Amino acid sequence: MRFKFLSLAAISTIAFAAPAWAAPGDPVALGDGVTLDPILDANLRYEHVDQAGVARDADAVTIRLRLGAELKAGGFSLLAEGEGTGAISDHYNDTLPGNGVEPYPIVADPENIELNRLQVAYAKGGYSLTLGRQRIVQDNARFVGNVGWRQNEQTFDAMRAQAALGPVKLDAAYAISQRTVFGTESPNEHFDGDLVLLNAAVGLKPVTLSAFAYLIDYDTRLAFSSQTYGLRAAGTVKLGGGVVLDLSASFATQSDFGGNPIPYTAEYHDLQVGLGLRGFSIKVAYEELGSDGGVASFQTPLATLHAFSGWADLFLTTPAAGLRDYSIGVSYKFAGVTVLPGLNAAVTWHSFESDFGGVDYGSEWDASVGFRLGKVGLLAKYASYRADGFGADTDKLWLQASVAL
């Protein structure tokens, strides 16, 4: 499956043209109380990876297109969405077997055509029930997410119930399959099992408190079967003079579950403090994924991992000795730049070390600039990891254009 014969101009036309029969983002009325809402989500990305110890640099130009629609009648809805990813330039290790020995670093965006979502739902009065292949993101996606950064989205074959009772929000899901980002041609296309995902939150202004429990019992991925229980608190306080204080803290404990052959117990700690003033913000954070004596460590196999522990993705799987991530980041949202609406920039520095054994893993710089041109979002990102006791020196650059209707 190769799409390289398509020109960049043709790809851009396909990706960014709205359906002629629908205004962007507007549902189509089919009858009394019946609507059809078209779905179009396109992403064109260049990713460059320079990694020490790998013979050649990776240069991936990929295009992702999601097309579908949601039919609504009363409180009922039916959503169907297909997803396709093509490689315009495939000089990268796409993780698929059978391609021979790859001289390139990994870019986990294999060519792929699949059914991304197919779900039926009913929602009324703050209650909803969704059944089928669906997107599930809970809380800040640190434990359960859709891996939105990668071209192929992570979804779940699941039943999910949600309820809003005043300040209380309840979210419970039972999934039998995790549909990964690796595509239909990969042996890691999906991981089946019994996945119980529970989250409850209460808004107590200015703080939101949440409790969660994640019970993961894989059929085959046994080393990642675990039970996790935790608490999170997050809030925003206005200090006066336009200064805003953002605080969040999380704690969780995890142990082996189901068929996991390794008995262990490990803890998770996360503390973030941020200050904002007139578009400028600074955030200091500490995150720890603990280790049980270097034998096994705290894992989050359902998470949106790219958003945590550095964009270079050196720690998608927590090392057995655990991980401590000390970081400080600054960002700025530019106001009044009419030619570049939504212009924003951010820089973050990370220092990584083990939780057990006192190993200095390395450090990383991450930076990004983004803005919008009409409906199109444009983004440039860069990550630079310098290894000490873990991994290899890695530099990554991304240039991206995306649109969603």
C-alpha to C-alpha distances, 403 to 40, 44, 64, 383, 399, nearest whole angstrom: 8, 9, 11, 24, 14
pLDDT for 336 equals 83
**236 vs 274: CA distance, rounded Å:** 9
**349 vs 60: CA distance, rounded Å:** 26
Q: What is the CATH number of domain 8-404?
A: 2.40.160.10
Model confidence at 234: pLDDT above 70: yes
Model confidence at 147: pLDDT above 60: yes
* Residues 250-266 pLDDT 10s: 999 999 999 999 999 99
* Residues 304-355 pLDDT 10s: 999 999 999 999 999 999 999 999 999 999 998 888 999 999 999 999 999 9
Instruction: Specify the pTM.
Output: 0.91
Burial class (CB in 10 A: 0-12, 13-18, 19+), 145: buried
Strands in 125-257 per DSSP E? 127-134, 155-165, 168-179, 190-204, 207-218, 226-240, 243-256
Provide the pLDDT confidence category of residue 101 given band limits of 50, 70 and 90.
low
pLDDT for 100 equals 60
**353 vs 326: CA distance, rounded Å:** 9
Determine contact, residues 244/278, Cβ cutoff 8 Å.
no
Please enumerate in sequence order all residues whose Cβ is within 8 A of that of 207, keeping only pairs 6 or more positions apart, or say none. 233, 234, 235
Mean pLDDT value of segment 277-284: 96
Provide the pLDDT confidence category of residue 207 given band limits of 50, 70 and 90.
very high
Percent over 70 (pLDDT), the chain: 93
* Phi/psi at 349 (5° precision): -115, 135
Model confidence at 19: pLDDT above 60: no
Determine contact, residues 15/403, Cβ cutoff 8 Å.
yes
* Residues 354-364 pLDDT 10s: 999 999 999 99
* Phi/psi at 22 (5° precision): -145, 135
Model confidence at 5: pLDDT above 50: no
pLDDT for 14 equals 31
Cis peptide, bond prior to residue 206, ω within 30 of zero: yes
What DSSP character marks residue 302?
Answer: T
C-alpha to C-alpha distances, 16 to 44, 125, 159, 400, 401, nearest whole angstrom: 10, 36, 33, 13, 10
Provide the pLDDT confidence category of residue 143 given band limits of 50, 70 and 90.
very high
**378 vs 45: CA distance, rounded Å:** 10
Percent over 90 (pLDDT), the chain: 87
Average pLDDT, the chain: 92
Angle at CA 129, nearest 5°, toward 126 and 130? 130
| DSSP assignment string, 13-62 | HHHHPPPTTS-TTPPEEEETTEEEEEEEEEEEEEEEEEETTSSS-EEEEE
Nearest Cα neighbor of 236 from 280, 273, 199 is: 273
- Pick the range with the lowest mean pLDDT from 203-207, 220-224, 263-267: 203-207
Mean pLDDT value of segment 209-221: 97
Determine contact, residues 262/296, Cβ cutoff 8 Å.
yes
Provide the pLDDT confidence category of residue 27 given band limits of 50, 70 and 90.
confident
Model confidence at 77: pLDDT above 90: yes
Mean pLDDT value of segment 290-299: 98
Q: Locate the domains of the chain by residue range.
A: 8-404
